Amino acid sequence: MEGITVKLQIMLGLLIFLATFADVHAEMPSDSPRFQKARQAMVDEQIRTRGISDPKVLHAMEHVPRHFFVPPKMHSQAYADHPLPIGEGQTISQPYIVALMTESLMIKGFENVLEIGTGSGYQAAVLSELAHSVTTIEIKKKLFGKTSKLLTHLNYSNITTVFGDGYYGWKAKSPYDCIMVTAAVNHIPHPLRQQLKDGGRLILPLGNPFSYQNLVLVTKQGSKFFVQQITGVLFVPLTGHALEIQGE
């Protein structure tokens, strides 16, 4: 009887696994010709015409199915020229801003990249198409769970998802060649400056978290940091410790 019980337990476990796997697949939309056409139009009309020219960035934007990363009710707007809500008070950025931030980091292919604010996972997916490895941190537990599951299902094997406060970065995989912060903060967090490799680049929306900010590119040279302003933007605030302090 014990042998039969063990077999039944194994079979039950297998059935549960298969049911869960089937549920994951059932939730996933298909990448139909309609979506592929919309994605190509997004690149041609919103991104290339605004000056994004890095072939690797353009290819990533053409390849990553953005509609996989938005709620089902938003699929028809997935490739529109504006951000979209994804729940938990967060948004998926406008496609052009995703491309602009990605191109600004000048990724060649060997880089170890840190992203602060996983959100939908779309920006991490785009970065993973260019970089050697991507670590992405999300502070909101529901988003972290949902997005981690999605990125795993989509086989983004070079992405590591972390649940935590991105203000502190992720020292375990530092130093980083590039860091991207996808939420607004009024100063450059000290832990991120420490975890950036010499010669590395950090991009973030810098300024009032509850108003418009400047998208800036920060380059580290020894103990100095050089800041280049790119354009005005509007991002949701970086939550956690960033909202508890006014500066350093």
Residue 74 lies inside a defined structural domain of this protein:
yes
Both 22 and 36 in one domain: the answer is no
Say whether 76 is catalytic: no
Q: What is the pLDDT of residue 181?
A: 98
Residue 248 lies inside a defined structural domain of this protein:
no
Both 3 and 68 in one domain: the answer is no
Both 21 and 38 in one domain: the answer is no
- Angstrom CA distances, 195 to 79, 139, 165, 170, 247, stand at 34, 19, 15, 8, 18
For 185-196, what is each residue's pLDDT tens digit? 999 999 999 999
Both 12 and 41 in one domain: the answer is no
Q: How many CA atoms lie within 13 A of 115 on its CB side?
A: 27
**Which entry of 32, 93, 104, 174 is annotated as an active-site residue?**
93
Both 142 and 153 in one domain: the answer is yes
Q: Specify the number of domains making up the chain.
A: 2
Model's pTM, two decimal places?
0.87
Q: Which amino acid is at 5?
A: T
Dig out the tokens for 44 from the structure. Answer: 């041609």
Q: What is the pLDDT of residue 194?
A: 98
Residue 174 lies inside a defined structural domain of this protein:
yes
Q: Which of 182, 193, 243, 244 is nearest to 222 (CA)?
A: 193
Both 196 and 98 in one domain: the answer is yes
CA angle, residues 129, 132, 137, in degrees to nearest 5: 80
Helix (H, G, I), strand (E, B) or coil at 246: coil
Q: How would you write the pLDDT of the chain (248 residues) with one tens digit per residue?
A: 434 444 544 454 444 444 444 444 445 678 999 999 999 999 999 999 999 999 999 999 999 999 999 999 999 999 999 999 999 999 999 999 999 999 999 999 999 999 999 999 999 999 999 999 999 999 999 999 999 999 999 999 999 999 999 999 999 999 999 999 999 999 999 999 999 999 999 999 999 999 999 999 999 999 999 999 999 999 999 999 998 885 44
CA-CA distance, 246 to 175, in Å (whole number)? 26
Q: What is the pLDDT of residue 246?
A: 59
Both 48 and 168 in one domain: the answer is yes
Domain containing 13 equals 1-30
Both 174 and 151 in one domain: the answer is yes
Both 221 and 233 in one domain: the answer is yes
Both 12 and 39 in one domain: the answer is no
Q: What is the pLDDT of residue 143?
A: 97
* Domain at 96, CATH number: 3.40.50.150
CA angle, residues 105, 161, 202, in degrees to nearest 5: 20
- Angstrom CA distances, 35 to 30, 65, 172, 243, stand at 9, 8, 38, 38
Residues 115 and 136: beta-carbon distance below 8 Å: yes
Both 25 and 45 in one domain: the answer is no
Both 152 and 237 in one domain: the answer is yes
